[in-house]
Amino acid sequence: TTVAASDTGGSVKRDAGTVAGVAGKALPSTVTIQAEGSNGEGGTGTGFVFDKEGHIVTNNHVVAEAVDGGKLSATFPSGKKYDAEVVGHAQGYDVAVIKLENAPSDLKPLPLGNSDQVAVGDSTIAIGAPF
């Protein structure tokens, strides 16, 4: 017996509170970041859209090679790629902010939660754009 699905997983609607529902809502706000240093070293990682001006939050270790004159780009799930620059980073906290050059007008910032409403034992979901 052969079974064929009429829909791919991406076109099936999921309830908002499920992992698939959260991931589906977050996907348009998630980017893959590629960094290349002036020495040819580089890396890749993930970030998320913070605001409509084109700021992306990521980890410092993702962009570290590009901090001093390297190249940086962010690619959206749609395949659109934008050059970017590091506008802030903190090695000790492993956090960085980059800004897209010529950011599109239709950015969808990922909403942030309120840490005062989180309790030990609450479910968490890691959002990213892994290969």
pLDDT digits (tens, 9 = 90+) for 46-88: 999 999 999 999 999 999 999 888 899 999 999 999 999 999 9
Whose CA is closest to 66, among 93, 85, 94?
Answer: 85
In a domain, 22, yes or no: no
Quote the pLDDT of residue 43: 85
Which of the residue ranges 31-35, 98-102, 123-127 would you say has the lowest mean pLDDT? Answer: 123-127
In a domain, 35, yes or no: yes
| CATH number where 99 lies | 2.40.10.10
Quote the pLDDT of residue 13: 75
10 has a pLDDT exceeding 70: no
In a domain, 57, yes or no: yes
In a domain, 20, yes or no: no
**Eight-state DSSP code of residue 21:** H
In a domain, 99, yes or no: yes
Quote the pLDDT of residue 68: 84
Strand 71-75 and strand 30-36: the pairing is antiparallel
Where in the sequence is the domain holding 68, given as residue range(s)? 31-103
In a domain, 80, yes or no: yes
In a domain, 86, yes or no: yes
Count of the separate structural domains present in the chain: 1
In a domain, 95, yes or no: yes
CA geometry: angle at 21 spanning 24 and 6, to 5°?
A: 75
